[in-house]
Amino acid sequence: MTELDPDDHTVDELTAALETIDDADDLQSILEAERAGQDRATAREAVHRRLEEIGTASDAESTDGDGGDTDDAESEPDEADGEDPEEDDALSHPTRDKKHVRALEDGDYADMWIFCETQGGELLDVSREMLGKGRELMDQFEADYGDQEAVVAFLMGDDCEDLAEECIAYGADVAVYHEDERLERFLHDPYTEIAAHMARGEGTVESTDWREYDEPRYILFPATNNGRDLSAKVQAELDSGLASDCSDLFIEESEVSNPVKTGEPGVKKTVEKVLHMKRPDFSGFEYSTILCLDNPNRDFHPQGCSVIPGSFDPMEPDADRDGLIVEHDMELADDWFRVDITEHDRLEAGIDLTGHDVIVCLGRGIADDPTAGMELGLDLVDAFEDAALGITRGIVTSSYQFEGHVEAYSAEERQIGETGQVVAPDVYIAAGVSGAVQHKVGMDESDTIVAINTDPDARIRDFSDYFVEGDLFEVLPRLTEAIEAGETDLEPEAVADGGEDDD
Ligand SMILES: Cc1cc2nc3c(=O)[nH]c(=O)nc-3n(C[C@H](O)[C@H](O)[C@H](O)COP(=O)(O)OP(=O)(O)OC[C@H]3O[C@@H](n4cnc5c(N)ncnc54)[C@H](O)[C@@H]3O)c2cc1C
């Protein structure tokens, strides 16, 4: 029987001492003693790991809920008290039993990797925007820390060597690309496998001289449909965390006191070179800063996020910039190409919502019957001479099932706001729109704003000229009828001078 009392040791000391213990009963006793004493999550993890090493992991995991901690993104302020989440098995983390954690401990990390998404043989704008931001961040990184680390673009497609060169012109130091005709369009499996393979520096590359590290320090993806998909899968594959839909990034040190991160309760630790990933929360009424920090015995790198298109400016391209182009090579399993894209269509042009007299904008207030809500919005549009239908991002990112005849109206190209279009019509009718700040910046220059909302305290009321408290499913048809009958003052010429305050 071991005499080891975990309370007498720091987590590091305990971890070292556990290496000498091969008896599962002894380890269980230490686990019990830790629970009865300081009950440090990291100490319990160390015992679990040791139990796993000696081959009795399942016993240990069935008694404790923190064996497979993979969800590590944490918000500021970093004052968590280190207590366990619910010990109830049914409520514990769904991936806690994940058997294939390949996260590193004390790994070497460097560089900022940027996934440069392409479409139709061209870089997406957001790819250029992220390269510009990456350049700015890593130039500042060098100024702050004196270490020169690279901006590494990585991309894949059927013909993308030229695009790799374009990435250099837009700010990358290195561009790693993988060409294969089967990669013409985004496919989950091969894109994920290739990206993780590239990030680990595995496989055949023409030259590995430029990287002497295990994994990237930071990694950025676009918050597009494909980028969101890829970001989650690659970060899971690399056993790290992800902050999604970020709109600002900066790198600086961070002082943390969470014992899960420091290893000791009551101790503060300064972590350098932390990527601070800012994202709007609660419908944009508040910003959170997400940090992805290593645990004492478990690294969470690359620190990664997806970036909302339009958040940053690209730099002026410089075709003479020096950079390294690296072709990536890897066996691609046929199994990854089980999905066959037999047909595709490309929209001819985006929708331009600017320049109309009237915009009818629909928000998530249509949730009860999205198709009927959309139809009512379109009826109102038709009642005006020159009107168009816009939507909030809430609609774009919703999973509403629209019927075919109105589905096209839920596409991102109709989004109004910070990351959509900015409009300033004579009349802006917002139905079921809460008025988040990101929406407001796209429409508050309108001459007359009319809001229809069931919630009398909705934020949009603060910047509306007319506020109709009511259900849009009842109000919109009546408004359409009134416009058609010429019974309202909402004709653009009638409101050209702007309206009065609340009704
Ligand atoms: C980086 C970033 C960028 C963003 N960019 C944009 C952007 O460009 N544009 C944008 O719009 N958003 C943007 N957003 C999202 C934004 O923060 C909000 O989440 C979004 O605008 C909310 O959409 P909503 O008003 O439709 O939904 P909600 O906020 O859910 O509001 C729905 C409203 O409908 C009302 N309602 C419910 N039922 C009814 C009914 N039957 N009749 C009448 N009213 C009803 C509710 O009271 C509520 O006020 C962005 C977010 C991020 C993080």
pLDDT in tens, 384-417: 999 999 999 999 999 999 999 999 999 999 999 9
CA of 253 to the centre of ligand 1 (A): 34
Q: Answer yes or no: is the C-beta of 439 below 6 A from any ligand 1 atom.
A: yes
Residue 91: its pLDDT value, please? 44
CATH number at residue 213: 3.40.50.620
Domain check: are 152 and 278 in the same one? yes
Note the helical H segments in 37-119.
41-53, 57-61
Domain check: are 329 and 365 in the same one? no
Domain check: are 296 and 438 in the same one? no
| Domain end point (choices 49, 69, 89) | 69
Higher-pLDDT residue of 471, 24: 471
Check residue 447 and report its DSSP letter.
S
CA of 432 to the centre of ligand 1 (A): 8
pLDDT band at 264 (very low <50, low <70, confident <90, very high): confident
Over residues 341-369, mean pLDDT: 87
Q: Output the CA torsion sign for 283, 287, 288, 290.
A: positive
- Helices and strands: H and E segment counts in the chain: 15, 19
- The residue whose CA has the least distance to atom 49 of ligand 1 is 434
Note the helical H segments in 149-250.
161-169, 188-200, 225-237
- The residue whose CA has the least distance to atom 20 of ligand 1 is 394
Model pTM?
0.60
* 81 occurs within a structural domain: no
pLDDT band at 98 (very low <50, low <70, confident <90, very high): low
CATH number at residue 408: 3.40.50.1220
Domain check: are 316 and 362 in the same one? no
- The residue whose CA has the least distance to atom 31 of ligand 1 is 434
Ligand 1, residue 395: give the atom nearest the CA: 26
In testing the pocket of ligand 1, which one of 360, 453, 464 has its CB within 8 Å of the most ligand atoms?
Answer: 453
| Domain end point (choices 333, 348, 366) | 333
Ligand 1, residue 362: give the atom nearest the CA: 26
* 396 occurs within a structural domain: yes
Ligand 1, residue 246: give the atom nearest the CA: 1
Residue 129 has pLDDT above 80, yes or no: yes
Higher-pLDDT residue of 96, 31: 31
Comparing 116-120, 156-160, 255-259, 310-314, the range with the smallest average pLDDT is 310-314
Which of 465, 410, 463, 459 lies closest to 435, judged by CA?
A: 459
pLDDT band at 370 (very low <50, low <70, confident <90, very high): very high
State the total domains in the chain. Answer: 3
* 96 occurs within a structural domain: no
Most confident region among 118-132, 201-215, 251-265 by mean pLDDT: 118-132
Most confident region among 53-67, 247-261, 369-383 by mean pLDDT: 369-383
Most confident region among 41-45, 65-69, 367-371 by mean pLDDT: 367-371
CA of 365 to the centre of ligand 1 (A): 8
Which of 358, 423, 352 lies closest to 385, judged by CA?
A: 358
Residue 494 has pLDDT above 60, yes or no: no
Over residues 52-57, mean pLDDT: 72
- The residue whose CA has the least distance to atom 11 of ligand 1 is 392
* 483 occurs within a structural domain: yes
Domain check: are 235 and 312 in the same one? yes
Domain around 51: 6-69
* 463 occurs within a structural domain: yes
* 84 occurs within a structural domain: no
Residue 454 has pLDDT above 70, yes or no: yes
Residue 313: its pLDDT value, please? 87
- 18: enclosing H helix or E strand: helix 11-18
pLDDT tens digits along 150-206: 999 999 999 899 999 999 999 999 999 999 999 999 999 999 999 999 999 886 656
Q: Answer yes or no: is the C-beta of 280 below 6 A from any ligand 1 atom.
A: yes
Domain check: are 47 and 11 in the same one? yes
CA of 48 to the centre of ligand 1 (A): 44
Domain check: are 183 and 302 in the same one? yes
Residue 316: its pLDDT value, please? 96
CA of 444 to the centre of ligand 1 (A): 15
Residue 372: its pLDDT value, please? 98
Residue 178: its pLDDT value, please? 95
Domain check: are 170 and 284 in the same one? yes
Domain check: are 287 and 369 in the same one? no
Over residues 252-272, mean pLDDT: 89
pLDDT band at 83 (very low <50, low <70, confident <90, very high): very low
Judge contact between 237 and 229, C-beta under 8 A: no
Judge contact between 364 and 392, C-beta under 8 A: yes
Domain check: are 199 and 263 in the same one? yes
In testing the pocket of ligand 1, which one of 129, 282, 392 has its CB within 8 Å of the most ligand atoms?
Answer: 392
Q: Answer yes or no: is the C-beta of 432 below 6 A from any ligand 1 atom.
A: yes
Q: Which residues contact 419 (CB under 8 A, 6 or more apart)?
A: 247, 308, 309, 310, 311, 393, 438
Chain position carrying tokens 């460097």: 110
Domain check: are 132 and 267 in the same one? yes
Judge contact between 204 and 329, C-beta under 8 A: yes
Over residues 410-439, mean pLDDT: 92
Most confident region among 67-71, 305-309, 491-495 by mean pLDDT: 305-309
- The residue whose CA has the least distance to atom 27 of ligand 1 is 364
Residue/partner pairs of 422-426 with CB below 8 Å, 24 or more apart = 422/354, 423/353, 423/354, 423/356, 423/359, 423/390, 424/354, 425/356, 425/357, 425/358, 425/359, 425/492, 426/357, 426/358, 426/492, 426/493, 426/495, 426/496
* 346 occurs within a structural domain: no
Residue 491: its pLDDT value, please? 67
- The fraction of the chain above a pLDDT of 70, given in percent, is 85
pLDDT tens digits along 310-340: 788 899 999 999 999 999 999 999 999 988 8
* 95 occurs within a structural domain: no
Domain check: are 132 and 32 in the same one? no
Residue 65 has pLDDT above 50, yes or no: no
Over residues 55-79, mean pLDDT: 39
The average confidence (pLDDT) of the chain is 85
Q: How many CA atoms lie within 13 A of 238 on its CB side?
A: 33
Residue 492 has pLDDT above 70, yes or no: no
Ligand 1, residue 363: give the atom nearest the CA: 26
| Domain end point (choices 19, 52, 69) | 69
